[in-house]
Amino acid sequence: MTSDPSNHSTRDASDPSLLLDIFTVIARSRALEDAVSIHIRDHGFAGFWHPGKGQEGAVAGAVAAMRTDDYLFYQGRGATWPLAKGMGLGPIIGDLLGKTTGSTGGKGAGVPHWADPALGIMGEGATLGSVYPVAAGAALSAKLRGTDQIALADFGDGTAARGTFHETLLEAARWSLPLVYFCENNGLSVTTPFESVSPTKTLAERASAYGVPGVRVDGHDAVEVYEAVRDAIARARKGEGPSMIEAVVTRVGGHWEGDAQQYRPADFLADYRDPLEVMRPRIDAADADRIVAAAKEEVRLAIEEAEAAPLPQPSVILKDVFA
């Protein structure tokens, strides 16, 4: 399969079009984060929303290094993954509100399970840790079919403790699968601090046990993440096997919207750098203001449209179910 030029996945890190694209994704995602928070406060929510504020830059940077035909297996904190990979705000918000306009036609109410195989958005398993073997299966499929697609498995630091993490990395390394392990290390698994359960200081260093390169990057800086993921993907496409990237991020909000967060120290934002503000000086100031304003308006309209859209009929339950 040839490279998708609309993705520009190998651009130089100083390419103005790359910087503009990344800033736009973060601005749209931030606008969505803020609007969803307000929507839940005012109207409630059928399920849990896991806010992704603070983590948008890491995700935007990672996806900027992917092609549309690359397989994405995301973990559902915030909505930057589907947004960055090309899903419209209509289907994203439609899924959040359980409306027929959602990518799952109204079956994913509350908890997001956005999916669109044409965009390489392969959905999310709510059983954390299922991501590794499933993503490795997609990577194996690409290898067997002789395409140069890759699969990216996104997970949190808590999910790095699952047994499937190790089993899959072992086989993926042995078989040189085109797989990228991407960890958003926000330092918390619900309420449990990473340092209280990890025998290693970083997650990235665990990759060496499998002969796999592991790098730790500042996930507040989308460009730093972009470069690391671009290099990992280039390696994977060349047949050199998996890599692991640990992007250190900040979970600005609670584990879920409404979490009182009494377990957090008062200074938990001490090392935080807002990914939107990290990117802003890299693009034209007038462009930045225009993009942020447009994103807010676009999200406002998309929420209005999703609210007006119909709920699914009961018959939808058996649609897309295979015996």
Ligand X SMILES: Cc1ncc(C[n+]2csc(CCOP(=O)(O)OP(=O)(O)O)c2C)c(N)n1
Residue numbers of the site for ligand X (CB under 6 A)? 77, 126-129, 155-159, 186, 188-190, 251, 255
Specify the DSSP element, H or E, that contains 73.
strand 71-73
**Minimal distance, residue 7 CB to ligand X, in Å:** 26
Cα separation values, 118 from 68, 85, 106, 121, 275, Å: 8, 10, 19, 7, 29
Are the CB atoms for 89 and 114 separated by under 8 Å?
Answer: no
Structure tokens at 311: 């709920």
Structure tokens at 199: 């025998």
**Minimal distance, residue 133 CB to ligand X, in Å:** 13
Instruction: State the residue number with the nearest CB to ligand X.
Output: 156
Residue closer to ligand X, measured from CB, 6 or 262: 262
Residue closer to ligand X, measured from CB, 104 or 164: 164
Residue closer to ligand X, measured from CB, 91 or 158: 158
Residue closer to ligand X, measured from CB, 25 or 160: 160
CA-to-CA distance for 100 and 42, rounded, in angstroms?
A: 22
**Minimal distance, residue 184 CB to ligand X, in Å:** 6
Residue closer to ligand X, measured from CB, 24 or 186: 186
**Minimal distance, residue 308 CB to ligand X, in Å:** 31
Closest Cα to residue 112, out of 64, 50, 30, 182? 50
**Minimal distance, residue 164 CB to ligand X, in Å:** 9
**Minimal distance, residue 188 CB to ligand X, in Å:** 5
Within 10 angstroms of residue 241's Cβ, the number of other Cβ atoms is: 20
- Let me know the angle formed at the C-alpha of 180 by 204 and 236, rounded to the nearest 5 degrees: 120
Residue 310 CA to its chain's centroid (Å):
28
- Helix (H, G, I), strand (E, B), or coil: what is residue 264? coil
- Residues in Cβ contact with 88 at an 8 Å cutoff, skipping those fewer than 6 apart: 302
Residue closer to ligand X, measured from CB, 175 or 256: 256
